[in-house]
Amino acid sequence: MNNLEGLPMLQKTHDLWYKIHVLLYDLCNIATDRTSESRTLATTDELYISAPYFTPSEAALIKSTQILPPTLSELPEFEELEYDEPESETVGAVPLLSDPITIEEAIKGCLQNFFEKRRASGDARPCGPHDMGPIYLAAFGIAKEELKDEKFLSRLRRSGLPGLEEEAAGKKDGQVKKGSKKGSKKR
């Protein structure tokens, strides 16, 4: 997959897009849903874009996907968005809003002011529902209503997060992935 195709490329990969929705759901519901809390606590990446949500290759693909920077109208919670971009891609000190940036740059740019303010207070940790949720929704172009969609919620209750754990266990135990016939023998 080419990360320059942007969000439409991520949307075409239905399982990956579902996993992104699960991450966003968890970030928006961490305070009220124990399963969301446990999944977010299991992440190893500062931006939560890692296991248990994504494989390393999926995480790299998501982070490097090009998008247009979120605007203040999409993120009214933030006073000013600043992006660290090369000077050649800016007019003065302001990035051109039509210049694509990676999802990782967009998220970190949106959080820049937050981190600076929190560091001054001695606590630089982001808070999922209040700080990360709105940023991720804007970066991925997903409306909060999509996370309340009954079809999505039903799949989440029924299936949870498609299994990085299942894949790892299957590979570790030497089990055959689905689609293979039961009782077939190697010759």
Helix axes 56-64, 103-121, angle to 10 degrees: 90
Q: Is residue 11 part of a domain?
A: yes
Phi and psi, residue 90, nearest 5° = -125, 160
**Is a pLDDT exceeding 50 seen at residue 61?**
yes
Vertex 88: Cα angle to 78 and 99 (nearest 5): 50
Q: Which domain holds residue 11?
A: 3-162
Mean pLDDT of the chain: 76
Which tens digits make up the pLDDT trace of 132-145?
888 899 899 999 99
pLDDT at 78 over 90: no
Residue 132 lies in a domain: yes
**What average pLDDT score do residues 150-155 get?**
97
Average pLDDT value for residue range 120-131: 63
Q: Does residue 42 lie in a domain region? A: yes
User: Structural domain tally of the chain?
Assistant: 1
Q: Is residue 185 part of a domain?
A: no
The more confident residue out of 119 and 11 is 11
The encoded tokens of residue 71 equal 């605007």
Cβ atoms 23, 30 nearer than 8 A: no
What pLDDT score does 175 carry? 43
- What does the DSSP assignment read for 45-104? STTS-STTT--HHHHHHHHH-EEPPPPTTT-TT-S-------GGGEETTEE-TTS-EEHH
134 or 154: which leads in pLDDT: 154
- Domain membership of residue 173 (yes or no) is no
The answer to the question of residue 170 being in a domain is no
Token output for 3: 């990360």
Whether 43 is covered by a domain: the verdict is yes
Is the pLDDT at 157 greater than 60? The verdict is yes
pLDDT, tens digit, 9 for 90 and up, residues 170-181: 444 444 444 444
pLDDT at 66: 95
The answer to whether position 74 is within a domain reads yes
In the predicted structure, residue 122 carries a pLDDT above the cut 90: no
Question: Which of 43-55 are b and which e, b meaning 16 or more Cβ less than 10 Å from the residue's Cβ?
Answer: beeebbbbbbbbe
Q: Cα 158 from chain centroid?
A: 21
